[in-house]
Amino acid sequence: MKRAAALDWLWHYRKFLLTEIVLFGLLQLLYFTPTLLRWWVVAIILVSVLAAWWISNAVISLSTGLFIAELLWIVLGGVGFLIFSLVGFWPAEIVMVLTLVLSSLLIYWHQQQIDYQRWNLDAMNWLSLIDLFALFVTTAALWLMIQFYSLSVVWLLLGVSVQLILALGLLFWRQGLPVKKFWLYALVLALMGQELIWLTNIWHKSIYFKAFLLTMVYYLFSDFVTHYLRGNLTVKLIFEYVKIAIFLVLVLFIFDLLFVLVSNG
């Protein structure tokens, strides 16, 4: 019985398992044969798109498009970080493993949604965390890329805006929030993200700190909008947001002060 159940599970999730095996192989090839880097990246994109479409039962729909977009976001974010962070062997392997783990969780929860035609609470919680991590890693990778190629900050602004709109769209879709004013909230969020990038681009702080700050801004904004649209935004909750914002400002001030003291010392 146990063997039969295991075989049934393997067959049911064959698409998911095959996708992860192929992605693992492509990531290893990308690292060990960098002369073919462009072709490996193209192959990773094609495998991700075709796998998401296959797992979605070859149906062309909004949910399939969002699945493809989210999978590409996570996988390409990891690939970009792997390429431009210029890390050694073991850190690179850790990046690859994390990319595979996050994409595995994403594919698993999406297949659950396809099987049962609904999102469960665990899936929504996990995927929200994965999207936050993807925003952080991909933003850091974009920052490293524009420094590596000496590109205009406009590319970073564009990349961050696309990420923020995608993340908010995924949140609205999974939470079943009303989409009537989605583009208004998406525009406000994108403008906030662009202003933050303009302000922090000239800072002396680490790229990872700037990416973390952007991630926290998205988290606070998306959580605020979610509670507001559900009609359960209370005064107590607003004060919680204010306290978190004050804490972030204090952290920034302390980091600035420590940097000045160390520089003068």
Per-residue pLDDT of the chain (265 residues; tens, 9 = 90+): 577 778 888 888 899 899 999 999 999 999 999 999 999 999 999 999 999 999 998 888 999 999 999 999 999 999 999 999 888 889 999 999 999 999 999 999 999 998 888 898 888 989 999 999 999 999 999 999 999 999 999 999 999 999 999 999 999 999 999 888 899 999 999 999 999 998 888 777 778 888 988 998 999 899 889 988 988 877 777 777 777 777 776 766 666 555 545 445 4
Task: Quote the pLDDT of residue 51.
Answer: 95
Q: DSSP H helical segments within 13-150, as ranges?
A: 14-32, 37-55, 62-84, 89-116, 121-149
Q: What is the model's pLDDT at position 29?
A: 96
pLDDT of residue 9: 83
For residue 256, the model assigns a pLDDT of: 58
Q: Is residue 237 part of a domain?
A: no
DSSP state of 232: -
- Dihedral sign for Cα atoms in the order 122, 228, 213, 107: positive
Rounded to the nearest 10 degrees, how much is the dihedral formed by the CA atoms of 178, 182, 186, 189? -50
Number of C-beta neighbours around residue 88 at 10 A: 7
d(CA 177, CA 171): 8
Is 216 within a domain?
A: no
Q: Judge whether 132 lies within some domain.
A: yes
Contacts of 110 (CB under 8 A, 6+ apart): 52, 55, 56, 67, 70
**Pick from 197, 223, 63: nearest CA to 139:** 197
Answer yes or no: is 61 within a domain: yes
Q: Which of 148, 189, 151 is nearest to 168 (CA)?
A: 189
Q: Measured between alpha carbons, how far is 171 from 253 in angstroms, rounded to an integer?
A: 31
Q: Is residue 39 part of a domain?
A: yes
- The number of folded domains in the chain is 1
Tell me the backbone φ, ψ of residue 14, rounded to 5 degrees: -60, -35
Q: Which domain holds residue 94?
A: 2-196
Residue 158: the pLDDT is 96
Domain assignment present for residue 153? The answer is yes
Cα 94-100-106 angle, rounded to 5 deg: 135
Distance CA 32, CA 79 (A): 13
In a domain, 150, yes or no: yes
* Residue 17 is assigned to a structural domain of this protein: yes
Q: Model-level pTM? A: 0.90
